[in-house]
Chains A and B, each alone.
Chain A
Amino acid sequence: MSYCVNCGVELDRSLTKCPLCSTPVINPNDIDAEKTLPTYPVEYMQNIEKKLRFASANLVTVIFLTALVLCPFCNYVISDKLTWSRYVMPSIIFAWCCAVPPIMIRKNTFLKCVIIDFISAFIYLGAMNMLTTPNINWFVSICVPILLYLFGTFILIYSLSVKKCSVIYIISIGFALAGIFCMMTEYFLRRFRFLEMEFIWSVPVLISCIGIAVLMLIIEKLSKVSALRKRLHI
């Protein structure tokens, strides 16, 4: 017999996890023992949660699909050609890519969803560039570096939080990266518009952000001193 280490209840031998708290059942003395027949037939004992997720994802998909079909149809009926709906359709597909993965993915949901969102954003913006202004390549000039930078920032902050770095430390890094982001944005915007290469608005932002970041790093170091910890805790 097995007991849930979390709840303390005895578990039927057919169970692979505790139904109350989902703690897996691992009984080293019982590994080779033959499992008894499940209490209820396996035909419908499929993962109910999985069914629910599929049902929700299907519902969202149907909603988006309806919009995806109706928009070009209405556009064509009214204007005899596709005009505005050409922009709406990629947007709907992009929104679907952002909405459905959080429903379907169960493990490492946040990381996987953000990666999917970034890839979708790349494709979406590239498509919009081709559809709206095929002669001006703003996608490569502005979007690609900005998206890559944002993606790198996300990965860095995510890995810091996984390593359980202190919140103040992560926020200070975030401020510094935000300052650099502003400067980078101004640089790529000016380059795209063939303007003289000088930094106007981003420098004060960068200085402020770096200042805040340094201040927070100092606080973080000082807060390790026990006497100050109670005064400075966030």
Chain B
Amino acid sequence: MKQVQNWYQLDNAAKIYPAVRTKRWSGNFRLSLNFNEKVEPDILQQALDDVRKRIVNLNLELKKGLFWYFFEETDRPVIIQPEKQSPCGRIGGAHNQDMPYRVTYYNNRIAIEIFHALADGTGGLIFLKSIAARYIELKYNEKIPEFEDIILCGSEYSPEEMEDAFKRYAKFRTLKSRSELRGYHFKGTILPSDQTSVITGIIPFSKLHEKSKEYKVTVTEFIVSLMIKSFMDCQSKSNNRIEKPVKVSVPINLRKLYPSRTLRNFALYINPGIEPRYGEFTFQEITEEVHHFMRMNNKEKYLNAIMCKNLSDEFNPVVRVIPLFLKNVALFTAFKIYGETLVSSTFSNLGRVELPPEMARHIERVEFMLGRFMAGMPSAAAASYNGNLYINWTSGFCEKDVEKGFFTSLIKMGVPVKIESNLI
């Protein structure tokens, strides 16, 4: 008989995702790493089972309450699967029922695809590293030492891993409004909602860093600027009578501002961009706009005010007593108004992925990928490992104008790019 051990409320950022997912689409992201050798499924399954005994998040199942969704601990087995469907396809269904994540393998690669209600990219990376650490322990008899962001099977559980950090750190001094102008949306031939096209660019990190230094910006700011330029070029070619702002949503990892060790969501978004109605922006001007916007808005006080605004909706007594099925309709509408419509794209940079030498010698690369937007707009995610930056563009459109503009701009700047894709 199934043993119910505990249950958890969804954190503030997670609440929207179950409400807006459909039969074919859910807000997922994916983290993967490639070993030097072909993955052995039996060992991987064993590694996952062992890690699940330690990490509570990996035993959670999404359930419906009368007023809210919640996570419930389950002892249901999670079966690893060979990669069969498009990356970041809908999670839940045949094998793992409504488990909010999936572990897959293909050739040398293991991947974990996570429903965003469960965790953010940082949390997901910890899951993946922990599974990989256990896999290496089992396969190569290596002893993995204590290391930042790796949860070893024998380590002690901390309740902080499951805390809702938004509620802990919100100060409620003031609330920051979410109202913004709607952003430009790239249009094209839409793919079926369960299909995602992926284009991976492998870029030498040193060259990219050097180039971003030339513009006096960080690598993230440089990539966001390039994305904005690429979207701008597409908009100017699209003959739109009224040009809309081009904005790229950038998640900010709040763990850098608050000393939280949560494995759940703890990130907020800021949307740097440009207003083409003011005139044509050169790339230099775009980088300046992005740089100053990021410096201006990536501050604890402002982010806390956004966090408080988000939480204030959740704490609203009227909202709380609305039954879940009505709340779902309201949240879906809110998502359509405030969610994807405000921005042109998203760029999530996981930064440099560090591994202990015992693991690093078995792992060739680490990648991060966002699921496609519901409306299909291209978005990008990046992770750096072993001297390379792996940037994954995911899109729900057949046309690749944005991605092409992005990569060809890099080539023109003298930054070499190697391309991989799931498009044959």
Chain A: residues with CB nearer than 8 A to chain B? 4, 7-12, 14-21, 37-41, 43-45, 47-49, 51-52, 55
17 contacts across the A-B interface (CB closer than 8 A): A4-B419, A9-B201, A9-B411, A10-B416, A10-B417, A19-B400, A19-B403, A19-B421, A20-B400, A21-B400, A39-B420, A40-B422, A41-B82, A44-B84, A48-B195, A49-B189, A52-B398
Please count the residue pairs between chain A and chain B whose beta carbons lie under 8 angstroms apart in the complex.
89
Residues of A close to B107: CB separation below 8 A:
37
Residues of A close to B411: CB separation below 8 A:
7-9
Interface size on B, residues (CB 8 A): 35
Docked pose: A15 CA to B200 CA in angstroms: 12
Q: Are B419 and A45 interface neighbours, CB within 8 A?
A: no
Nearest-Cβ distance from residue B230 to partner chain A, whole angstroms: 11
Nearest-Cβ distance from residue B394 to partner chain A, whole angstroms: 12
Docked pose: A117 CA to B286 CA in angstroms: 50
Instruction: Flag whether B142 is at the interface (Cβ < 8 A).
Output: no
Q: Are A45 and B195 interface neighbours, CB within 8 A?
A: no
Docked pose: A158 CA to B265 CA in angstroms: 60
Nearest-Cβ distance from residue A18 to partner chain B, whole angstroms: 7
Nearest-Cβ distance from residue A34 to partner chain B, whole angstroms: 15
Beyond contacts A20-B408, A39-B421: 19 other A-B pairs, Cβ-Cβ < 8 A, are A7-B408, A8-B411, A9-B408, A9-B417, A9-B419, A11-B419, A12-B421, A15-B420, A16-B424, A19-B419, A20-B400, A20-B407, A40-B198, A41-B83, A44-B84, A45-B422, A47-B424, A48-B423, A52-B192
Q: Are A41 and B418 interface neighbours, CB within 8 A?
A: no
Q: Are A8 and B419 interface neighbours, CB within 8 A?
A: no
Q: Are A48 and B419 interface neighbours, CB within 8 A?
A: no
Q: Are B199 and A19 interface neighbours, CB within 8 A?
A: yes
Contact of A45 among B200, B408, B424 (CB under 8 A): B424
Q: Are B421 and A9 interface neighbours, CB within 8 A?
A: no
Q: Are B418 and A44 interface neighbours, CB within 8 A?
A: no
Q: Which of B161-203 contact A (CB under 8 A)?
A: 189-192, 195, 197-201
Contact of B403 among A16, A17, A20 (CB under 8 A): A20
Residues of B close to A18: CB separation below 8 A:
419
Q: Are A44 and B85 interface neighbours, CB within 8 A?
A: yes
